[in-house]
Amino acid sequence: MNIVLAQLNPIPADINYNKKKIIEVVKNTQAELIIFPKHFIYGYHNFDMLEKFSFIKDQINCAIAEIQKYTKNYLLISSIDGNYLINQNEIKKVDAFELNGESFKIIENENIETTATNLIYLDLAISKTNSEYFRNKKLIEIAKSQNKNLYYLNQIGAIDEYVYDGISRIINKNGEIIALAKAFEEDLLTIGKIEKNEYLAPINLESFSLNYENDLKRTYESTILAIKDYFSKNNFKQAVLGLSGGLDSTICAVLLADALGAKNILGVSMPSKLTSIESKSDGKILANNLGINYIEAPIKNYHHTFSEGFEEIFKDTSKYWCNRYTNSFTQDNIQARSRAMILWGIANEYGSTLPIATSDKSETYMGYATINGDMSGGFAPILDITKTKLFALARWMNENRSRKNAIPESVILKPPGAELAIDPNTGETLKAEDALMPYEFLDEVIWRIENLHQSINNMMQEQFLYEKKNTVNKETKKLWLEKFFKRMNCAIYKWYIAAPSPIVDSYSINKAIYKQPIVSNINY
* Pair (309, 458) in one structural domain: yes
- Residue 166 is classified by DSSP as B
> If we measure between CA atoms, which residue out of 402, 400, 363 comes closest to residue 380?
363
CA angle 18, 51, 59 (to 5 degrees): 35
Question: Per DSSP, which regions of 69-181 are E strands?
Answer: 74-79, 82-86, 91-94, 96-99, 102-107, 118-123, 149-154, 156-159, 162-165, 169-171, 177-180
What pTM does this model have? 0.95
Average pLDDT over residues 9-23: 97
> Looking at the DSSP assignment, which residues form a beta bridge with residue 62?
none
**Regarding predicted confidence, which is higher, 30 or 274?**
30
- Give the pLDDT mean for 308-330: 91
Mean pLDDT comparison of 260-264, 306-310, 432-436, highest-scoring range: 260-264
For residue 472, the domain's CATH number is 3.40.50.620
Whether residues 172 and 254 fall in one domain:
no
Say what the pLDDT of residue 179 is.
Answer: 97
3-state secondary structure of 51: helix
For residues 471-484, give the mean pLDDT: 97
Could you tell me if 293 and 431 lie in one domain? Answer: yes
Does some domain include residue 518?
Answer: no
User: Please, which residues have CB within 8 angstroms of residue 357's CB and are 6 or more apart in sequence?
Assistant: 374, 375, 376, 377, 378, 379, 380, 383, 498, 499
Q: Is residue 350 part of a domain?
A: yes
Query: 51 and 126 in one domain?
Result: yes
What 3-state class would DSSP assign to 507? coil
Question: 276 falls in which pLDDT band (50, 70, 90)?
Answer: confident
Q: What is the pLDDT of residue 176?
A: 97
Output the 3-class SS for 193-212.
CECCCCCCCCCCCCCCCCCC
Task: Answer for the pair 293, 300: CB distance below 8 angstroms, yes or no.
Answer: no
Q: How far is CA 202 from CA 15, 134, 135, 168, 392, in A?
A: 37, 8, 11, 18, 19
Band (pLDDT 50/70/90 cuts) for residue 287 is: very high
Same domain, 161 and 276: no
Q: What is the pLDDT of residue 110?
A: 65
What is the rounded (10 degree) CA torsion for 399, 401, 402, 403? Answer: -70
- 523 falls within a domain: no
81: domain CATH number is: 3.60.110.10
Average pLDDT rounded to a whole number, residues 361-368:
94
188/24 Cα distance (integer angstroms): 12
Percent of the chain exceeding pLDDT 70 equals 98
**Which of 202, 125, 184, 117 is closest to 151 using CA atoms?**
117
3-class secondary-structure state, position 434: helix
In a domain, 516, yes or no: no
Average pLDDT over residues 172-180: 97
Per-residue pLDDT band at 185 (split at 50, 70, 90): very high
**Is the same domain home to 307 and 179?**
no
pLDDT digit string (tens) for 42-57?
Answer: 998 777 888 889 899 9
Question: Are residue 172 and residue 241 in the same domain, yes or no?
Answer: no
Average pLDDT over residues 69-90: 95
- Going by pLDDT thresholds of 50, 70 and 90, the confidence category of residue 203 is confident
Domain shared by 334 and 245, yes or no: yes
Using 50, 70 and 90 to split pLDDT, how confident is the model at 274? confident
Give a yes or no: residue 492 inside a domain: yes
pLDDT at residue 418, as a whole number: 65
Least confident of 54-58, 350-354, 465-469: 54-58
Residue 5: strand pairing partners: 35, 189
Closest CA to 451 of 51, 53, 129: 129
Is residue 373 within 8 Å of 299, Cβ to Cβ?
Answer: no
Over range 306-313, report the average pLDDT: 92
pLDDT digits (tens, 9 = 90+) for 410-466: 999 988 876 666 767 776 777 889 889 999 999 999 999 999 999 999 999 999 999
Inter-residue long-range contacts of 191-198, CB under 8 Å, 24+ positions, other chains counted: 191/3, 197/132, 197/167
381 and 448 in a common domain: yes
| Mean of pLDDT values over 393-417 | 93
* Residues forming beta bridges with residue 356, ordered by sequence position: 379
Which of 323 and 278 is assigned the larger pLDDT?
323
Across the beta sheet with 91-94, what order do the strands follow?
91-94, 82-86, 74-79, 33-35, 3-7, 187-189
Domain containing residue 21 = 3-189
Which helix (DSSP H) or strand (DSSP E) does residue 239 occupy?
strand 238-242
Confidence (pLDDT) at 429: 75
Helix, strand, coil in percent for the chain, rounding step 5: 40, 15, 40
Residue 246 · residue 417 · CB < 8 Å = yes
Number of domains in the chain: 2
Residue 393 located in a structural domain: yes
Both 167 and 260 in one domain: the answer is: no
Would you say residue 227 lies in a domain? Answer: no
> Is the domain of 353 the same as that of 268?
yes
Rounded to whole angstroms, the Cα distance separating 511 from 380 reads 13
77 vs 26, 43, 148, 387, CA distance in Å? Answer: 12, 12, 22, 42
Res 117 pLDDT > 80: yes
Enumerate the H helices of 71-180 as residue ranges. 131-146
pLDDT for 205 equals 73
Task: Give the whole-angstrom CA distance, residue 64 versus residue 153.
Answer: 20
**In this prediction, what percent of the chain has a pLDDT beyond 90?**
81
Q: 201 with 213: CB under 8 angstroms?
A: no
Domain identity same for 151 and 263:
no
- d(CA 522, CA 524) in angstroms, rounded, equals 6
On whether residue 222 sits in a domain, the answer given is: no
The answer to whether the Cα torsion of 499, 154, 24, 20 is positive or negative is negative
pLDDT band at 316 (very low <50, low <70, confident <90, very high): very high
